């Protein structure tokens, strides 16, 4: 390894800044599901979400307290969605105990900072009730501050916002921007592409506060009408569905560029998490080729689309490419300008977790340092 872990609380300035590993996709889990957030809801919202008889046996039997966010009940991973060695002796869900994550990820793998994106909140974008979505996002952010950010200064908060109500999302960004550990915006998507002006208040707030907007494959992509859709129809198998999830990021990157979002918000960064890597090469080439012949249609796109992408779009590394020939990997990394566009992620504690000690072993030292540390420093800016 060429990286040197940063000691917690150590001063870091200029050339003396230690080099570490920033994990840009770590999933905290609520130990008791949505019920974990009950103390953060008002009385009225507690009744609305959990039912008036939530604590009564007959109420539970009548499903009065069974509200939950849209989740994946269609595509079931036959080997389980999480690493077996991340399971807790308490029986609680993996990723629900900050101390275990500290021990395994920070101490065990030398991760120096972890960007948190709520595992339980991936389906928030497809929740039909926009008011409920906004209230849940606020409660979740307060809970994450109290339990995870307070537990260790190496955790970084991806502020959860709701795409359904962009004005409320912008207000939530403003409320949270100066809280400890805040480093990003976590935006679960709807079936509306990101170039749509609907999202502009979110981008305005994110750019104003210097926070990148992070997207992630959702729990119900392709299986809910209010979630992002997959091309060609509805897949049958988990393997099909999981493989095809990269389509969501591709469509949204194209939308962002063609609608001129990065021309309007020149300081905005968008991070496509767990969304694949190699497709970016094809998208950049196709956009550049089409723009040359069709630029009159989108005159607000003043530069080559690939230039906007390299300046504004970041991809996380997991699942990292592992071609049989190393030269194919290196050529792909060169083609996507990985020295600027790629940041490291492990996807802890999910089943296809990338070991930070091994995932980038085939990458040259200088580029590995860019991916593991420097690109994240430049993207998140609050590490």
Strand 342-343 and strand 22-26: pairing?
Answer: unpaired
For the chain, give the percent of residues with pLDDT over 90. Answer: 76
Q: Which tops the pLDDT comparison, 18 or 274? A: 274
Asked whether the beta carbons of 340 and 373 are under 8 A apart, the reply is no
Complete domains list, the chain, with CATH = 20-35+69-380 (3.20.20.140)
What's residue 84's pLDDT?
65
The pLDDT-based confidence of 9 (bands split at 50, 70, 90) is: very low
pLDDT band at residue 66 using 50, 70 and 90 as cut-offs: low
Does 94 have pLDDT greater than 90?
no
Mean pLDDT, the chain, integer:
89
pLDDT on residue 10: 36
pLDDT tens, 19-65?
Answer: 799 999 999 999 999 999 999 999 999 988 887 655 555 445 544 44
State the pLDDT confidence band at 313, using cuts at 50, 70 and 90. Answer: very high
370 vs 233 pLDDT, higher one: 370
Weakest mean pLDDT among 87-101, 215-229, 263-277: 87-101
Neighbours of 286 (CB within 10 A): 13
Residue 2 pLDDT class (50, 70, 90 cuts): very low
Distance between CA atoms of residues 309 and 92, nearest Å: 40
Distance CA 139, CA 159 (A): 11
- pLDDT score for 151: 98
Residue 289 to residue 123: CA distance in whole angstroms? 35
* Buried residues in 77-91 as b, exposed as e (16+ CB within 10 A): eeeeebbeebbeeee
- Between these two residues, 55 and 127, which has the higher pLDDT value? 127
**Confidence band of 12 (pLDDT split at 50, 70, 90):** very low
Task: Note the pLDDT tens digit of each residue in 140-186.
Answer: 999 999 999 999 999 999 999 999 999 999 999 999 999 999 999 99
The residue written with tokens 């949505």 in the block is 34
For residue 362, what are the CA distances in angstroms to 112, 188, 367? 21, 32, 10
- Asked if the model's pLDDT at residue 350 lies above 50, the reply is yes
pLDDT at position 68 is 82
Please tell me the predicted confidence (pLDDT) of residue 282: 97
Higher pLDDT residue, 71 or 253?
253
- End-to-end CA distance of the chain, in Å? 21
DSSP 277: S
Query: How many alpha carbons lie under 13 Å from residue 210 in its C-beta half-sphere?
Result: 10
Which tokens belong to 44? 């009225």
8 pLDDT more than 70: no
For residue 1, pLDDT beyond 60: no
Q: Is 348 helix (H, G, I), strand (E, B) or coil?
A: strand
- Least confident range from 66-75, 213-222, 253-262: namely 66-75
What would the mean pLDDT of 235-261 be, rounded to a whole number? 95
Residue 7 pLDDT: 38
Give me the pLDDT at residue 11, please. 36
- pLDDT greater than 90 at residue 373: yes
Tens of pLDDT, residue by residue over 180-210, are 999 999 999 999 999 999 999 999 999 999 9
More confident residue, 162 or 382: 162
Contact partners, residue 289, CB within 8 Å, separation at least 6: none
312 Cβ contact partners less than 8 Å away, ≥ 6 residues apart: 256, 262, 268, 269, 270
Q: Is 293 helix (H, G, I), strand (E, B) or coil?
A: helix
pLDDT over 80 (residue 130): yes
CA distances from 243 to 221, 235, 257 (A): 12, 10, 24
């Amino acid at each position: 390894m060429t990286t040197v872990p940063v000691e917690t609380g150590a001063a870091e300035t200029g050339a003396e800044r230690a080099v570490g590993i920033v994990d840009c996709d770590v999933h905290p889990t609520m130990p008791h599901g949505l019920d974990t957030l009950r103390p953060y809801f008002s009385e009225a919202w507690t009744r609305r979400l959990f039912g008036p008889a939530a604590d009564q046996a007959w109420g539970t039997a009548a499903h009065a307290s069974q509200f939950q966010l849209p989740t994946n009940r269609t595509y079931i991973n036959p080997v389980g969605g999480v690493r077996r060695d991340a399971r807790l002796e308490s029986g609680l869900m993996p990723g629900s105990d900050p101390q275990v994550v500290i021990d395994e990820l920070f101490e065990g793998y030398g991760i120096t900072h972890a960007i948190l994106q709520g595992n339980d909140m991936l389906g928030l974008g497809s929740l039909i009730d926009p008011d409920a979505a906004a209230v849940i996002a606020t409660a979740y952010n307060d809970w994450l501050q109290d339990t995870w950010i307070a537990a260790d200064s190496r955790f970084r908060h991806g502020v959860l916002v709701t795409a359904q109500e962009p004005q409320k999302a912008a207000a939530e960004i403003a409320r949270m921007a100066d809280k400890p550990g805040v480093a990003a915006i976590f935006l679960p998507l709807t079936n509306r592409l990101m170039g749509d002006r609907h999202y502009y208040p979110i981008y305005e707030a994110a750019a104003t506060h210097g926070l990148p907007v992070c997207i992630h494959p959702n729990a119900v992509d392709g299986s809910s009408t209010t979630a992002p859709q997959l091309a060609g129809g509805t897949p049958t198998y988990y393997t099909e569905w999981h493989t095809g999830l990269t389509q969501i990021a591709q469509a949204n990157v194209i939308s962002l560029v063609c609608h001129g979002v990065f021309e309007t918000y020149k300081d905005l960064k968008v991070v496509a998490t767990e969304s694949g890597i190699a497709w970016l090469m094809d998208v950049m080439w196709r956009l550049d080729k089409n723009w040359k012949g069709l630029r009159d249609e989108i005159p607000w796109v003043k530069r080559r689309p690939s230039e906007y992408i390299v300046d504004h779009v970041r991809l996380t590394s997991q699942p990292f490419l592992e071609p049989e020939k190393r030269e194919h990997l290196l050529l792909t990394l060169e083609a996507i300008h990985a020295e600027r566009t790629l940041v490291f992620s492990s996807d802890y504690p999910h089943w296809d977790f990338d070991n930070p000690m091994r995932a980038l072993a085939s990458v040259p030292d200088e580029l590995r340092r860019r991916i593991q540390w420097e690109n994240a420093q430049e993207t998140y800016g609050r590490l």
